[in-house]
Amino acid sequence: MSQRRRPFLAAVLALVLALWGQAALAQSLVLSNLVVDNQSGALTARFGVALDSLAEVSDALQAGATLALSSRGKLTREGGLFSSPTVAKAEMSCRLKYDQLTREYVMAIPGREAPLKNPRLDELLRTGWGSLALELGAWSLLERGQEYSLDLDIRLHQTDIPNWFRRTLFFWSWDVAPQTSYRLHFKY
């Protein structure tokens, strides 16, 4: 092996080990209690989200990162010949950060007037993400006797990455927890 190739191979090996180590530390999102119901005439997907481990999230927040739990729901009617028509869709994002001055974790959830605060991350996540609601539209969009599918995609990612940096490292994933998808079939 030539002397020129050794530094290159060492750099490639170091990069592979670093990326492998990052994948090993990746969190996973766990969904609980996914239901579709009528809340005051609104078609709403209710669910809870938990993390299997908090260490990486806590470290990222205390290092100054702002994280967002993004949820995207799409309701389709089953039975289309080539594709299922979309009945409704919606998105929601809950922001999470750490306040160095008060030493509290802070969570902003759409629809709540004041952000949630707690010095313990596990308690804050249980309170804030334990019961989320994604309003998809009016309940009158559903037709009796029809079959529907709700697709729910959730991911936990960093939000404070400058665009020029994101474009430069386009191959890098900024997700703290990879996107997780769920599907619920039901008949109305």
75-130: pLDDT as tens digits: 999 876 677 789 999 999 999 999 999 999 999 999 889 999 999 999 999 999 99
Kindly list the distances between the CA atom of residue 32 and the CA atoms of 19, 39, 46, 132, in Å, as whole numbers in the listed order: 30, 19, 9, 10
Of 69-78, 139-148, 165-174, give the lowest mean pLDDT range.
Answer: 165-174
142 φ/ψ angles, rounded to the nearest 5 degrees: -80, 145
Kindly report whether the global pTM for this prediction surpasses the value 0.85.
no
In the predicted model, what is the mean pLDDT of the chain?
A: 82
Spell out the domain ranges in the chain. Answer: 27-187
State the architecture of 27-187 in CATH terms.
Answer: Sandwich (2.60)
